[in-house]
Amino acid sequence: MSGKRVALAVCGAVRFVARDRVLTAFVLLAVAAPLYFLAGVGPAALQVQVFWTFQVALDVVFVAICVALARQPGGYAELRRLWRVVAFMCAMFVIGDGSQVVLSLAEPGLRATVSGDVQSVALLIGMVPTLVVLLRHPTSHHNRSEKFRNWLDAVIVLLGGSAFVWATVIADQVAEGGLTQKINVLVNAAVLMVVAFTVIRLMLGGDRLKTRPGGTLLAVGSLTFALASCGSAVQTPAADLAVTQALRITPIMIFMLGLWVELRPQHLVNVVFAPARRYSFVPYVSIVLTFGLMLALLPGGLDARAWGAVIAVTLITMLVVIRQLAAFADNERLFRELVGHEKRFRALLQHSSDITAVTGTDRRITYVSPAIERILGVPPDEITGTMWLNRLHPDDRQSVGGLLLDLAADPGRTVTFQARFRHADGSYRWLELFSTNLLDEPGVNGIVSNARDITDARRLRDKLHHQAHHDALTGLANRALFTERLEQVVAAGRQVGICLIDLDDFKPINDTIGHHAGDAVLVAVGQRLRDGFREQDLAARLGGDEFAVLVPDADETLVAKLVERVDALLADPVVVDGAVVPVRASIGSVVAAAITPDELLRRADQAMYATKRARKAAV
């Protein structure tokens, strides 16, 4: 945990305590009680009597808090069951500690510092159902493999703690004490087993308590209480009585604080804890400590303490090996699942009709699916390591290149665009690409693109667009496209020239020779218009025998030359089925700027009819 996180946690804890008056009183009591017993006020007999009386009062408070926790709304059934059984255990503590009060009053002195028969039986009755409920309490593990590893962790830690307590406390007590003392030692060892399982199940195994601070306080209090309990099975010398009572009362107060935090979590604000790891070092720490304990005891010979350590080390080592084998089996299962996923993924890519490609930070292709060969005729190996831009149509490179640069600078962004890519035969295919920037994803580290061939769709769209904007007979632009282009040029403020062309005496051609002859004349006129004007000019058939040409950025001299040239081209007759059909046309032109398209067309129409009247007058 960082220094800043620790500071936030401390500030949050202080604010938390200040918001709850009862908790403030608990904290003050938790500090004052150990100090009182450490001070050793009064004779030893009085100290023992005060200690057990205070202990009974705390047990009653424990029962009340646990009952309140079990009745809280919103809790799941397993948690309510846990608090009920803990309340029952605390009730047994009331009976057991109450018997010690009676014993301390009946036999003043240090006799009551040792657990009596009633207390031992009460502890045992309270511990058994608690142990059963703790074993069945749910954790955050979801599959059997995780649950099995959690059980192994619990047993490993339990054996390590048992070996430590055996070597430091229990072995000597069992060897030196009588039958009653031995029973008391074993009962207190059972206390350690229960609280060890509490720590493992509720903390290491994925606790489901309401708050992490409450769970942490309960775990610390339970574990330290168990260690202190194991040391109470022998007569405590008067010189050590004050220290022993202070050490025994401190974890109890910590446990009480944890219970109150669980009861009142709404006051918990700004308390920051490091995120829990998905793995635990505790089993391996247990191994190291147990081996260290064995090495420390072996020089003194294989006595009862050393044999306990050796047995514990052997069992722990075997369990760790089993755990590692289970982990290996789990890894093998995960590996097989991963291989299966990879095979399915490759099968999808192998038979996909779309191209999937990954482009690195240098815009070079790092991966491309086999569909590239079917669509562009290029094997994946040949295109891997090259750049997409090298296969783009020259007219698309600038726009697509800028788009890809913007995409590379924006992680997580997705763009869609269409572009032409060169086929192996030299032609170009239209592809639609969906590209997503996943450069920040460690497993990808690139831009992922999915491309599909839309060449046929583009051809159909272009064909429909051409049909909607062009004359079906002559192939020239129709009135809609001519009007659209004219409005664009005028809106840009450019000077524009318009030539209106109307064929003279066209109706007699249809009436005397036939409509096929009239169509042939119209096709010929359209071709001559394309030949007579520039590439940037737009020739259109407005309807019937009326044509128009849009000349952008024109002046009067240029338009006059174009009109003269077209007039000469149209003067040549058209041969239809061996018959010579003369073609005559009247042309009117206008050059202007900053006027409306309708006004331009009106002026050109007036000029065209003026030409037609002049031709008729000349005839």
Same domain, 505 and 447: no
Same domain, 230 and 323: yes
Same domain, 89 and 190: yes
Q: What is the pLDDT of residue 321?
A: 67
Say how far apart CA 65 and CA 256 lie, in whole Å: 9
Same domain, 510 and 492: yes
Give the domain range for residue 523: 470-618
Say how far apart CA 453 and CA 476 lie, in whole Å: 30
Say how far apart CA 21 and CA 42 lie, in whole Å: 31
Q: Could you give phi then psi for residue 73, rounded to 5 degrees? A: -75, 155
Question: If you compute the radius of gyration of the chain from its CA atoms, what whole number of angstroms results?
Answer: 48
Say how far apart CA 605 and CA 599 lie, in whole Å: 10
Q: What is the pLDDT of residue 242?
A: 72
Residue 371 falls inside a structural domain? yes
Same domain, 486 and 423: no
Same domain, 325 and 201: yes
Report the interhelical angle of 44-71 vs 238-263 (nearest 10°). 10
For CA atoms 442, 444, 445, 449, the dihedral sign is negative
Contact assessment for residue 385 and residue 392, using Cβ atoms and an 8 Å cutoff: no
Say how far apart CA 290 and CA 160 lie, in whole Å: 6
pLDDT in tens, 87-111: 898 899 889 888 888 888 887 877 6
Residue 342 falls inside a structural domain? no
Region of poorest pLDDT, from 2-16, 307-321, 537-551: 2-16
pLDDT in tens, 250-268: 777 777 777 777 776 544 4
Q: Could you give phi then psi for residue 556, rounded to 5 degrees? A: -65, -35
Contact assessment for residue 254 and residue 216, using Cβ atoms and an 8 Å cutoff: no
pLDDT at 183 over 80: no
Q: Among 460, 490, 511, where does a domain finish?
A: 460
pLDDT in tens, 418-445: 999 999 998 999 999 999 998 888 778 8
What number is the average pLDDT over the span 220-237?
Answer: 56
Residue 544 CB coordination number (10 Å): 12
Please report, for the domain that includes residue 591, its CATH number. 3.30.70.270
Residue 517 falls inside a structural domain? yes
3-class SS of residue 389:
helix
Please report, for the domain that includes residue 405, its CATH number. 3.30.450.20
pLDDT in tens, 262-293: 776 544 433 434 444 445 556 666 666 776 76
Burial class (CB in 10 A: 0-12, 13-18, 19+), 262: buried
Residue 491 CB coordination number (10 Å): 9
What is the rounded (10 degree) CA torsion for 135, 141, 147, 152? Answer: -80
What number is the average pLDDT over the span 232-239?
Answer: 44
Say how far apart CA 150 and CA 553 lie, in whole Å: 84
- 574 Rama sector, left if φ>0, alpha if ψ -120 to 50, beta otherwise: beta
Contact assessment for residue 165 and residue 227, using Cβ atoms and an 8 Å cutoff: yes
For CA atoms 394, 398, 403, 406, the dihedral sign is positive
C-alpha dist (Å) from residue 290 to 81, 193, 254, 298, 309: 35, 16, 27, 12, 7
Same domain, 412 and 527: no
Same domain, 315 and 389: no
Number of domains observed in the structure of the chain: 3
Same domain, 580 and 438: no
Same domain, 310 and 417: no
Q: What is the DSSP letter of 275?
A: P
Residue 240 falls inside a structural domain? yes
pLDDT at 524 over 60: yes
Residue 334 falls inside a structural domain? no
Same domain, 433 and 576: no
C-alpha dist (Å) from residue 301 to 294, 297, 305, 306, 310: 11, 7, 9, 7, 12
Residue 346 falls inside a structural domain? no
Q: Among 404, 435, 460, where does a domain finish?
A: 460
Residue 316 CB coordination number (10 Å): 23
Contact assessment for residue 170 and residue 230, using Cβ atoms and an 8 Å cutoff: yes
Residue 162 CB coordination number (10 Å): 19
Same domain, 53 and 193: yes
pLDDT in tens, 457-505: 888 888 888 888 889 898 899 999 999 999 998 888 888 999 999 888 8
Residue 121 CB coordination number (10 Å): 16
Residue 98 CB coordination number (10 Å): 19
Say how far apart CA 473 and CA 479 lie, in whole Å: 14
Say how far apart CA 477 and CA 548 lie, in whole Å: 9
Q: What is the pLDDT of residue 275?
A: 43
- SS3 per residue for 228-244: HHHCCCCCCCHHHHHHH
Chain center to CA of 542: 60
The rounded mean pLDDT for the chain is: 76
Q: What is the pLDDT of residue 103?
A: 84
Residue 335 falls inside a structural domain? no
Q: What is the pLDDT of residue 276?
A: 46
pLDDT in tens, 343-392: 777 777 777 778 888 988 888 888 888 888 888 998 888 888 888 888 88
Residue 465 falls inside a structural domain? no
Say how far apart CA 386 and CA 134 lie, in whole Å: 62
For CA atoms 24, 29, 34, 38, the dihedral sign is positive
